[in-house]
Amino acid sequence: MSIESLFLSPVYLPMLGAALILVTKHFFTDRQRRAVEYLSALIAFIIPLIAFIFLIKPVLAHHQVHMILGTWETTLGIHYHFDGLSFLLITINLLISIPVWLYSRKTGPHQETFTIIFLIQSASIAATSLTADLFNLFVCLEVMGVTSYVLVASSEKNKAILSSFTYLIFSATAMVFFLIGTFGLYRISGSLAYDTIAQAKNMLSGSDLLVARLSLVLIVVSVLLRTAVIPLSGWLVGAHSNAPHAVSALLSGVLIKIPLFALVRLLLLVTGTELLGSILAWAGGISTLLGILLALREHHAKRLLAYSSVSQIGYIVTAYGLALASGIETEEGALLLALSLLYAFSHALAKATLFMTVGRACDAVGSKDLHVARGALSALRAQGERFPITGIAYLVAFLSISALPPTIGFWGKNTLVYLSKGHGSTYFLSITSVLTIVVYLKLSGIFLPKKAQEVQKVEPSSTALTSLSLIFLTILLLAGGLWYTDLQTFVVQVLSPLGATNATLTSYSALQDLLKTGFTTTIALLFFIIGSKTRVERRFEARRESTASFPNLFFGFALMVAVMAWWLLFPGEAL
Amino acid sequence: MKRTLFIIKITFTLLVLALAIFPVILSSHPWPEASRDYLYEHALTDTGAVNTVSSIYLGYRAMDTLGETLVLLVSITGTMGILINLGRESEEEEAVSFSLAPEKRPTNAQRTHLLEVVSSKLGPVVLLFGFYVMLYGHISPGGGFQGGVIVASAIVFLALGTETQTKLTNTNVLGRIEALSFLVLIVAATSGVFFESGFFGNPIKSGSSLSANFIILLNIIIGLKVGTSIAVMCIAMMGGRRGH
Amino acid sequence: MVIERILIFLLALIGFTAIVGAKNIIKKVFGLNILNAAVVLLYILEGSRIGDQAPILGKGVTNMVDPVPQALMLTAIVIGVCVTALALALAVRLYKATGSLEIDTINERLRSEH
């Protein structure tokens, strides 16, 4: 077993699993197909996870593998690069996909082809994390995109079809701009591999440099669209709120982060990305505040969660942008990147759990409107859940996303905000922390007991697999919090070949942050109580659901391109 | 007010993006020749294909082709899923669509005897041509995708033409061929990992004259997969019975 | 020559305008196709500048065009077709659900749904 076959396993094993399910679907009965789906999930998720356990040691020893797929001896082949970054991204994907898939067995879309598409998406996520070739990145992003469109549309509600269509047109057009960018970069460098392109670009000057930078801007903005940072986030609310619960969990948890970190590989090698980083940091900060303000206005549970995703991705993008701005080779930059990835992990866990628990609760109560939905705990008990797993999982996820101890979110968000101090956009982050707690207090209303005790006739549904997936995520959320310092050291160690070595967060005081957290929570509680008592919030609430219109979406795209093109005129200066 | 806002947005969008892509499209940097020269020397010995385009997308960059096949699989599965549920709702509606057999066809369907006779005669010819394009992809222009699409159109001809359903237009049979060819494709791609020539490497690569066989095999599999899946989708859109 | 690339640029712009501005969703799909076609033409046109013979090795072939853009565009064309198929299926579904193909009407009718 060479190391290649180990780290490529999350790419080819899910494909193999999908092929097996397809064959079973056509040749055998439905029951056998369902059985084979379990087998394929085992092959596709558990075996790569075991393989990656064997890879922990090489990755800690900073063993990097740069290879050309198919062992051709030329740069014409497709370059793949395995290092700590790929390891972490793929691990995040596997750790979220397993509970989401288990959850979907009972609750999720019941189409015959759901697992096939799910597995193919998992393979494409792994390939995106490993690739070091521009056109291969295009193909992998397209596979990820097409699987997302189909998965969002699989809920078969008409709104989901519209959201899927909007997302499709927006994303497909952006990928054409990506192709134009690739054209520019291939022209000036003669190759599609990241290192050759970067080498060529760093030696350019004059009009060629202009072309190269423009191409890079087109590529970066097209990839950032999938991360849904303001102003590119119009599609996210519709897609994530109308998709089936399992799909929302996966999309919000994994798919909006992977393209961002896959881009790091290219941006690392290119010089002069400091201004780009600053722009990203500001965009992230604005995202945070705007996202949470829009979430406050919502009274539809899943739309609230989707806007909250926009807000939380702002944290990740801010840290990422600051890492780029100070240069990833420096100690500070490497730390910021590591914290950005860690927060991505903690948000993925929390958001997936939130979507799954809130989804179950809303299904049990029968409504997604926060003014109406109440009494989820008793409704779930009537459905056969003897121990309130859904409620507990929701509580832990709530604590994590509000950055309260002892969860991973407490440590993740606070270390991130601590290290980002000194940049203008971090004021947004602090305000948002308060508002996040307010928003989630509002959401928790679903679990409050009902005023009138009506006995509802609900059919009991077996909850074993769903409970298993929720327990798994809860354990991860708590374990991440308890062993955070070890986790952080691991991540920094593993990512350090990208930049400086042995960077540690030395002057961080947890006690100070505990006090700060207590303060923040008290303010948030005050806001919430005042707001709900005086009915102030009703006046600000969204009257009708706003749907993303195409002119708005593309206006945002053009705005981002225009702002980033500023980089061309003032190279090397930070905002 | 709303109208002016709309116009401002659209003008801004168009202006910015036009300015962004204009320099890239009109760049006058000389086009790089290194790849072309390399392929001129080595394509035949590395992959066994004379058609250098085939040697790229089935040899050096075969992973892209695999990704493309996955996009095809997912989008056709998705399209079928969306359209099939459509069909179930509108059973009672008068289908203004081509049907495959006379008893399912409503009286006002636009199909004439001329169409049926001609396309049923053309079908086998086009099928043969499709297989030719598939198999000779490494020597002359063509290959798996091109041949596959021609095979798909041949199957559509047969479906349009004949009055009786042949095995080839039965969606069950086509679905099975598709599933099997996809499995063989993935196994062929993964076999490289275990034969020490890397993922999607040529497992027979040893400098012998047999190395072109891998490309021929890939062409056939991809052609079958693409042909059958597109044919299934077209037949489903025409209103034929869904086979599963 | 420059005039060809300007024409391709205009073609791309027309396609993009259709995507953003058209009210009918089928026309948006047309626009996407036109944009795709423009980019494919761009790659192949520029790749053909360095030679004048088809990239198939054989007797007497000394000056062939660059085969790399052609191979890349094969992939891009297939992906474009697949995405178009999916978009059209979604459009048909939207028509069945709301009875209209205009994006504003669809938005209105779906907004009032549950």
Reduce the secondary structure of B165-231 to three states and give it as a string.
Answer: CCHHHCHHHHHHHHHHHHHHHHHHHHHHHHCCCCCCCCCCCCCCHHHHHHHHHHHHHHHHHHHHHHH
List the Cα angle A111/A171/A293 in 5-degree steps: 95
Model confidence at B207, pLDDT cuts 50, 70, 90, reads very low
Q: Degrees (nearest 5) of the Cα angle A145, A146, A147? A: 90
Say which residues have a Cβ less than 8 Å from residue A533's Cβ, sequence separation at least 6: none
Cis peptide before A244 (omega within 30 of 0): no
Distance in Å, alpha carbon of C80 to nearest chain A alpha carbon = 8
With an 8 Å Cβ cutoff, is C105 touching chain B?
A: no
Residues B110-136 have pLDDT tens digits of 567 788 888 888 889 999 999 999 999
Cα dihedral A105/A108/A113/A117 (nearest 10): -100
Q: How far apart are CA A104 and CA A255, in angstroms?
A: 17
Nearest chain C CA: its distance from B243 CA (Å)? 19
The number of distinct structural domains making up chain B is 1
Min distance C53 CA to chain B CA atoms (Å): 12
Residue A569 pLDDT:
64
Residue with tokens 């091109």: B146
pLDDT at A249: 94
Distance of CA B180 to the CA centre of its chain: 16
Average pLDDT over residues B88-116: 55
Interface with chain A: mutation pick from B52, B74, B190, highest number of A CBs within 10 Å: B74
- For the segment A349-400, what is each residue's pLDDT rounded down to a tens digit? 999 999 999 998 888 888 888 877 777 787 777 777 777 888 888 999 998 9
- Please give the structure tokens belonging to residue A382: 């009537």
Q: What is d(CA B106, CA A148) in angstroms, rounded to the nearest whole number?
A: 37
The H-or-E segment that residue A79 falls in is strand A79-82
> DSSP per residue over chain B, as a string?
-HHHHHHHHHHHHHHHHHHHHHHHHT--PPPP-HHHHHHHHHHHHHH--SBHHHHIIIIITHHHHHHHHHHHHHHHHHHHHHHHHHHHHTSSS---S--SSGGGS-TT----HHHHHHHHHHHHHHHHHHHHHHHTTTTSS--HHHHHHHHHHHHHHHHHH-SS--GGG-HHHHHHHHHHHHHHHHHHHHHHHHTTS-TT--TT-SSSGGGHHHHHHHHHHHHHHHHHHHHHHHHHHHTPPP--
Q: How confident is the model at residue B95 (pLDDT cuts 50, 70, 90)?
A: very low
- Return the higher-pLDDT residue of A120 and B82: A120
Residue at B10: amino acid letter: I
The 8-class DSSP code of residue A271 comes to: S
Q: Quick check: B20 contacting C, CB < 8 Å? A: no
Asked if the structure places residue B48 within a domain, the reply is no
Burial class (CB in 10 A: 0-12, 13-18, 19+), A486: exposed
CA distance A485 to B230: 53
Instruction: Give the per-residue pLDDT at A267.
Output: 86
Residues in chain B with CB shorter than 8 Å from the CB of A150 are 74-75, 77-78, 81
Residue at B29 is within a domain? no
Give the pLDDT confidence of C73-110 residue by residue, as tens digits: 999 999 999 999 999 999 999 998 888 899 988 888 88
Q: Neighbouring chains of C at 3+ CB pairs within 8 Å? A: A, B
In a domain, B56, yes or no: no
- CB proximity under 8 Å: C 61-90 to B: 64-68, 70-72, 74-75, 78-79, 82-83, 85-86, 88-90
In angstroms, rounded to a whole number, what is the distance separating the alpha carbons of residues A220 and C73?
21
User: Rounded to the nearest 5°, which phi and psi values hold at B51?
Assistant: -80, 110
Percent of chain C with pLDDT over 90: 65
Question: Mean pLDDT across chain B, nearest whole number?
Answer: 80
**From the CA atom positions of chain C, what is the Rg in Å?**
19
Q: Which residues contact B123 (CB under 8 A, 6 or more apart)?
A: B154, B155, B157, B158, B161, B162
Would you say residue B57 lies in a domain?
no
Higher-confidence residue: A185 or B88? A185
Phi-psi region of A25 (alpha: psi -120 to 50; beta: other; left: phi over 0): alpha
Check whether B163 has a pLDDT greater than 70.
no
Residue B128 lies in a domain: yes
Q: Does B112 touch chain C (CB under 8 A)?
A: no
pLDDT at A522: 81
Two structure tokens written together for B2: 């709303």
Q: Is-contact A400 A477, C-beta < 8 A?
A: yes
Identity of the amino acid at A237: V
Compute the distance between CA of residue A358 and CA of residue A347 in angstroms, rounded to an integer: 16
Q: Taking CB atoms and an 8 Å limit, are A549 and C103 in contact across chains?
A: yes
Q: Which amino acid is at A465?
A: L
Question: Which of A492, A503, A496 shows the shortest CA–CA distance to A63?
Answer: A496
Residue A174 contacts residue A225 (beta carbons within 8 Å) = yes
Report which residue type is found at A347.
H
Q: Read off the DSSP letter of residue A497.
A: G
Mean pLDDT within C31-36: 96
User: Are A184 and B27 a contacting pair at CB < 8 A?
Assistant: yes
ipTM: 0.96
| Confidence check: pLDDT of B94 > 60 | no
Question: d(Cα A104, Cα A114) in Å, to the nearest integer?
Answer: 9
Q: Is residue B101 part of a domain?
A: yes
Q: How far is C25 from chain B (nearest CA, A)?
A: 17
Tell me which of A173, A300, A553, A557 to substitute to probe the interface with C (most C C-beta atoms closer than 10 Å): A173
Phi, psi for A64 (deg, rounded to 5): -110, 145
Whether omega for the bond prior to residue A406 falls within 30 degrees of 0, making it cis, is yes
> How high is the pLDDT of residue A355?
93
CA B239 vs CA B87, B113, B139, B161, C99: distances in Å = 8, 19, 38, 14, 21
Closest by CA to A154, choosing from B82, C83, C107, is B82
Give how far the C-alpha of residue A465 lies from the chain's centroid of Cα atoms, to the nearest Å.
24
Q: Which residue has the tokens 């520029």?
A: C46
Full residue range of the structural domain in which residue B71 is found: 62-243
Residue of C nearest to B70 (CA): C79
Give me the residue from C69, C80, C107 closest to A547, CB to CB: C107
| Position B53 in a domain | no
Q: Which chain B residue shows the shortest CA-CA distance from A191?
A: B35
Which residue bears the tokens 């539809």? A300
A127, B199 in Cβ contact below 8 A?
no
Q: How far apart are CA B68 and CA C76, in angstroms?
A: 8
- A141 membership: H or E segment, kind and range: helix A134-153
Q: Where are the beta strands (DSSP E) in A268-341?
A: none
Nearest chain A residue to C69 by CA: give it: A183
Give the length of chain B: 244
CA distance B197 to A353: 41
- Taking CB atoms and an 8 Å cut-off, how many pairs form between chains A and B? 210
Which residues in C lie closer than 8 A to residue A369 (C-beta atoms)? none
The strand pairing partners of A82, in sequence order, are A65
Of A142, A143, A153, the CB nearest to B78: A153
Alpha helices in A496-569 (DSSP H): 510-533, 536-540, 550-569
CB-CB under 8 Å, B42 with A153: no
Q: A473 to chain C nearest CA, in Å?
A: 31
Distance between CA atoms of residues C101 and C95, nearest Å = 6
Q: How far apart are CA A393 and CA A405, in angstroms?
A: 15
3-state helix, strand, coil in chain A (%, to 5): 75, 0, 25
Q: Secondary structure of A423-475 in the HEC alphabet?
A: CCCHHHHHHHHHHHHHHHHHHHHHHCCCCCCCCCCCCCCCCHHHHHHHHHHHH
Beta strands in A313-417 (DSSP E): none
Element (H, E) at A165: helix A158-189
Residue B44 lies in a domain: no
Q: Give the tokens for residue B214.
A: 């891998």
Residue ranges of chain A with per-residue pLDDT less than 50: 573-575
Q: Is C95 exposed, middle or buried (0-12, 13-18, 19+ CB in 10 A)?
A: middle
